[in-house]
């Protein structure tokens, strides 16, 4: 059975190469789109804030921008960094090692 699996390895790799190339291209395109879009949202927030002399967005800068007819909506949601949990986890690991 392992011989059958090993024999299919190169064949699968040949089938995956075109797909992975397309995935890499799409990833790069989406990354550029996200960067451009976030820049445009930041510009809109800045302009509206200056126009009305207010600070827009929540504590982390989250904003929602809707079209006048409500048909379209763009949200900028900024997540808390996961790294903030690391010091707590290190304390737990240290205590666990100390107890042993």
User: Per-residue pLDDT tens for 42-88?
Assistant: 999 999 889 989 888 877 888 998 999 999 999 998 887 665 555 66
pLDDT digits (tens, 9 = 90+) for 9-31: 566 677 778 888 899 999 999 99
Q: Give the integer Cα–Cα distance in Å for 66 and 44.
A: 12
Q: How many CB atoms lie within 10 A of CB 76?
A: 17
Beta carbons of 55 and 66 less than 8 angstroms apart: no
Beta carbons of 56 and 43 less than 8 angstroms apart: no
Rg for the chain, CA atoms, rounded:
24
Q: How far is CA 31 from the centre of its chain?
A: 9
| pTM of the full structure | 0.59
Pull the structure tokens for residue 75.
């949200």
The partner residues of 65 in beta bridges, in order of sequence, read: 74
pLDDT class of 5 with cuts at 50, 70, 90 = low
Beta carbons of 46 and 56 less than 8 angstroms apart: no
């Amino acid at each position: 059975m392992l011989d059958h699996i090993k024999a299919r390895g190169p064949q699968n790799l040949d089938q995956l190469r075109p797909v992975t190339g397309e995935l890499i291209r799409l990833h790069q395109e989406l990354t550029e789109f996200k960067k451009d879009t976030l820049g445009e949202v930041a510009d809109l927030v800045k302009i509206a804030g200056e126009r009305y002399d207010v600070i827009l967005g929540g504590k982390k800068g989250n904003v929602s921008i809707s079209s006048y007819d409500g048909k379209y909506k763009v949200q900028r949601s900024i997540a808390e960094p996961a790294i903030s949990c690391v010091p707590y986890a290190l304390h737990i690991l240290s205590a666990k090692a100390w107890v042993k």
